[in-house]
A = this chain, B = another copy of it.
Amino acid sequence: MTLTLTPLPGIPMVRPGDDLGAIVLHGLEAAGLQLADGDVLVLAQKIVSKAEGRLVALNSVTPSARALELAARSEKDARVVELILQESREVLRVRPGTIIVEHRLGFVCASAGIDHSNVAGEGQADEEWVLLLPQDPDQSAARLRQRLEAASGARLGVMIIDSHGRAWRIGVVGAAIGFSGLPGIVDMRGQADLFGYTLRITLIAAADELAAAASLVMGQAAEGTPVVHGRGFPYPLREGSLGELLRPKEQDMFR
């Protein structure tokens, strides 16, 4: 089946308290798309975080002693480092320019996903604001899904993604940070291949493959389009959540 990924046009600058459901529905209308059973919607974390008011003014942040120490080692703003620490369970690596953490949501990422770009606060233009990840992206996705399913009558999947670096390979790719109504992992264990061998590859991170695909069409710069509609997701939709994708620390060979 063909997979079609369409970035929705005309998504406005999102502000705290904005109604994401209405924004997505308006974007779908602008794209000439009507939601159908099996469709998926993928949102960049940035607009979800903004709608949820996860902006923090840096001048409101007082760095702890530990943040000051990590700021010196990482050559980062100590106030941003303080927020990174507040949003993390564990610091895994520190290098000049880089802090890799286990986020409180369970995944490993740089700077706890705290974003300094495309962020404008409510105050003076020269104030510095940063954007934290949504409080609970699985729940954010579930709420939006409920809203969009109620409006459309269609059975949908909704996902929130961010861009994550990887061990071993250069560059970032889209990765799921929360979702509702679609599988995180598709388990092929026990299925036979064309020759009757058991499949070598048994756990497919379908949610992350969708996240990467949607990220590809979102872009990252000024012309970015933070909502993507997908049709033709090839696996059956079901309930699912981020936890499926998180490797327990004690089973991780590369921590």
Interface residues of A (CB under 8 A from B): 1-7, 13, 93, 95, 98, 100, 107-108, 115-120, 163, 166-175, 184-185, 188, 191-195, 197-201, 203-206, 208-213, 215-217, 219-222, 224, 232-234, 244-247, 252-255
Contact (Cβ within 8 A) B163 A166: no
With a cutoff of 8 Å between Cβ atoms, the chain B residues found around residue A119 in the complex are: 195, 197
Copies in the complex: 2
Contact check, A169 vs B93: say whether CB atoms are below 8 A apart: no
**Considering the chains assembled together, what is the distance between the CA atoms of A195 and B127 in angstroms?**
12
A-B contact pairs, 25 of them (CB 8 A): A3-B4, A3-B216, A3-B217, A95-B253, A100-B253, A108-B169, A117-B198, A117-B200, A117-B201, A118-B194, A119-B195, A166-B166, A166-B167, A166-B205, A167-B253, A168-B246, A170-B245, A171-B184, A171-B185, A172-B203, A172-B204, A173-B208, A209-B215, A211-B212, A213-B213
> What's the Cα separation between A98 and B202 when bound, in Å?
14
Q: Roughly how many angstroms separate A173 CA and B98 CA in the complex, as a whole number?
A: 25
- CB A34 to nearest CB in B, in angstroms, measures 15
Tell me if B246 and A170 are in contact (CB < 8 A). yes
The answer for the CA separation of A120 and B169 in the assembled complex, in Å, is: 32
| Minimum C-beta distance from A124 to chain B (A) | 13
- Using Cβ atoms and an 8 Å threshold, which residues of chain B touch A171? 184-185, 203-206, 208, 245
Q: A205 to B173, Cβ gap below 8 A?
A: yes
Question: A117 — which chain B residues lie within 8 A by C-beta?
Answer: 193, 195, 197-201
Assess whether B95 is in contact with A194, with CB atoms less than 8 Å apart. Answer: no
